[in-house]
Structures are given as structure tokens and as C-alpha cells.
Amino acid sequence: MKVLSVVGARPQFVKEFAVTRALRDDHEEVLLHTGQHYDAEMSAVFFDELGIPEPDYQLGVGSDTHGRQTADCVVGIEEVIEAEEPDAVLVYGDTNSTLGAAIAASKSSADLVHVESGLRSYNREMPEEVNRVLTDHAADVLFAPSERAAETLQGEGLPDERIHVVGDVQYDAILAAREHARDASTILDDLALPPGEFVLATVHRPRNTDDPDRLTAILDALADAEREVVVPVHPRTEQRLQDLGLRSEYAAELRLVDPVGYLDFVRLLDAAARVATDSGGVQKEAFFLDTFCLTLREETEWVETVECGWNALVDADPDRIATGLTAPKPDGSKPSLYGDGTAATRIVDVLEDGPTPERVEPSPIRDQ
């Protein structure tokens, strides 16, 4: 079996780390990096730290409008599909790279495979929401991370035989990365951070960075926290703070640091008392690492983490942020929502069987 895997942004590199290890044992994988994240700290460092094979193709699409970036992905990926003739094109998540690959694959004879399908925020103002819905409805094989995600797909009329509940490949990755990070990362010593005594924060979505009122409300609330707040600053956020003339002001109140590598970030997230984030991937990583999460959005794709009490939707509301920063962690055991850390193996097993008229049922996911 020959699989063309398409990645372009941080969450996809992490998921690829898990899948490529399972896939390359017995099959041929061609890896394509669109270049949607082109900053070295947001891209190349993940390949280095996680041992992901060097991409066979680099499109270098870079930053642009959503339409142009997606179009560049379509053209470049179509050329690679024509040259490589893969059996399947595998895409992750909800980026413009994902949608570009979905369009190109759907026009070819290759099967389109969507990992992390069935997630919905129900906010069509988010480009990611449009990307994931369109990709799901074009895909031949849908790998859902949870039963709820599968039910969403079924509710939208997608054929049951395309849907496979396999768990979450990000859980596979975080289990391996957590132990590696505890041994290899020196970030806590470098920043003189006692475990459990600081808050980690990430802010990067345009909804928060492009609205000065939202951005300042979030940062002001974090600056009022009792614990020290460490903020690895995304390039988009860095530019916005510079444009607003607020970089120096917030640097005096918050620990603003350069973007960190994946292992360093996992170590920070594992050791933090709380995390405040607008990232979908970080919400889920926090859940896996038992770190209580404040989501700086009005909605989330990971509704199960909110329902079980490990995630709080606080938007850009200073009062809700302040309450979340001091709220205790949930009592009782944490539920098993996203599998047992063997999602990548399940994905390969289904692909080996190939699309069939009958739904392929992987073995039941064990409890944690």
C-alpha cells in the first residue's frame, strides 16, 4: 500500500509522528509538507525532535489569504498525486492544507482518508470549521477519535461504512512525548519554573489576535493571575503586539518567551497548574496530561472535555478567566474519551483491509 500523507501545521506534525511509525513498518509512505507553517520553530523543529522522516515534497505555500493558500495547496498536491499515484491520500484535522489535499484527492483515483473526522464547533466563522466539514463530506475513509464524533458524521448523512472509531492519534503521540520530554527537556530549569506553580498560555487564533479588545482583555486577565504566566508567543501574536505598541507593556507583566519546541511545550504543559489557550490541539493535550484547561473561545470541538469538567469555556471574559485560574481540578477519576493510545495501529489495520461495502469494526477501545 502506498500512502501520501499531507501535513502543514503543528498539530499535524504531532499526529504524523504517531501514524508514520505504524505505517512505515509494512507500507510505503510519501510525506508532503505544504509549508503552511514555515517558521522554523513552528515547523522544522517538530521533525527534528520527533524523528519524523524528512518530507519527500515541500510545497512552501507560506502565508497568504485562505483562498490563495488553499488554492496553492490544491495545485501542488495534485501534481504530487499525479507523479506518485498513491492508493490513498491521508490528511489530518482542519487546516487549509487539509482542505487543499481533500480537493486534490477527490479529483483523483486515490482514496481520501481523514484522520480526526467528525469534530464540530458549529461556528462557520472559523475557517477550520468549514475545512473540516468539507473534508469529511469528500472523504472515502473517516477516522473518528470518539463515538460522539462518529455520531456527528452519521447525523450528517455520511455512510456508516466509511466511519471508523479508532481513538485519537494525538493521544498516541503525547504518551511517547511526555516521557521523552521529562528526560530530555530542560525548559523548566531554563525558565526557573517550579512544577505546578505557573500558568501556561497560548493565544494565536485571528479571532483573538486581530481584535484589540479581545486580545487586551485576555492578556490583562492573565496579567492579574496570582501565579506567574508563561506565554510562548506565536508569530502572529508577536506581530500584533508590536503593531499595537503593547509588546513592552505586557512583557513587564507576563513571561513572554519565543515559541518553543514540541518536547519543551509538552514539558511545560505537563508541569503547569493551568493552561489558557485558544488552540484545539492544546485543549486535548491538556486533557491527556491531566492539566486543567481554560479555552479562550466561545465554543470547542472537544465538547466531551468540557462536559467532564476538565475544560472551561471562558472566551475573552476577564471574570471567567479569573475564576478558571483559581478553580480546583475536577474530583474523581478522569473518563476515557479518546481511546487507549493505539489509534495509529487501528488506522493502519483499517487501511490494509481497504474500503469495503461493510463497515470495518476495529476491536473495542480499552479503558485507560
* Residue 281's CATH number: 3.40.50.2000
How far apart are the C-alpha atoms of 322 and 221, rounded to whole Å?
Answer: 6
**Is 283 inside a domain boundary?**
yes
**What DSSP state is assigned to residue 338?**
S
User: CA distances (Å), 306 to each of 297, 298, 310, 344, in order?
Assistant: 12, 12, 6, 25
Same domain, 106 and 252: no
Domain enclosing residue 108, as ranges: 2-168+339-353
Same domain, 19 and 151: yes
**Is 73 inside a domain boundary?**
yes
Same domain, 41 and 108: yes
pLDDT per residue of the chain (368 residues) written in tens, 0 to 9: 999 999 998 889 889 999 999 999 999 999 999 987 655 555 566 677 778 889 999 998 877 788 999 999 999 999 999 999 999 999 999 999 999 999 999 999 999 999 999 999 999 988 999 999 999 999 999 999 999 999 999 999 999 999 999 999 999 999 889 998 999 999 999 999 999 999 999 999 999 999 999 999 999 999 999 999 999 999 889 999 999 999 999 999 999 999 998 899 999 999 999 999 999 889 999 999 999 999 999 999 899 999 999 999 999 999 999 999 999 888 888 898 898 899 999 999 999 987 544 434 444 443 33
**Site of grid cell 509588546:** 247
**Is 363 inside a domain boundary?**
no
How far apart are the C-alpha atoms of 175 and 147, rounded to whole Å?
Answer: 21
**Is 236 inside a domain boundary?**
yes
**Is 359 inside a domain boundary?**
no
Same domain, 26 and 114: yes
Tell me which residues are annotated as active site: 204
**C-alpha grid cell, residue 75:** 495545485
How far apart are the C-alpha atoms of 271 and 279, rounded to whole Å?
Answer: 18
Number of domains the chain is built from: 2
Query: What was the pLDDT predicted at 78?
Result: 98
Alpha helices for the chain (secondary structure H): 10-23, 44-50, 66-84, 96-106, 127-138, 147-155, 169-184, 187-190, 206-209, 212-223, 235-244, 247-251, 262-271, 280-288, 303-307, 318-326, 343-353
Same domain, 120 and 213: no
**C-alpha grid cell, residue 127:** 475557517
How far apart are the C-alpha atoms of 346 and 348, rounded to whole Å?
Answer: 5
Q: What share of the chain is helix, strand, coil (3-state, %, to 5)?
A: 45, 15, 40
Answer positive or negative: Cα dihedral of 294, 125, 141, 83.
Answer: negative
Cβ-based neighbour number of residue 322 at 10 Å: 17
**Is 18 inside a domain boundary?**
yes
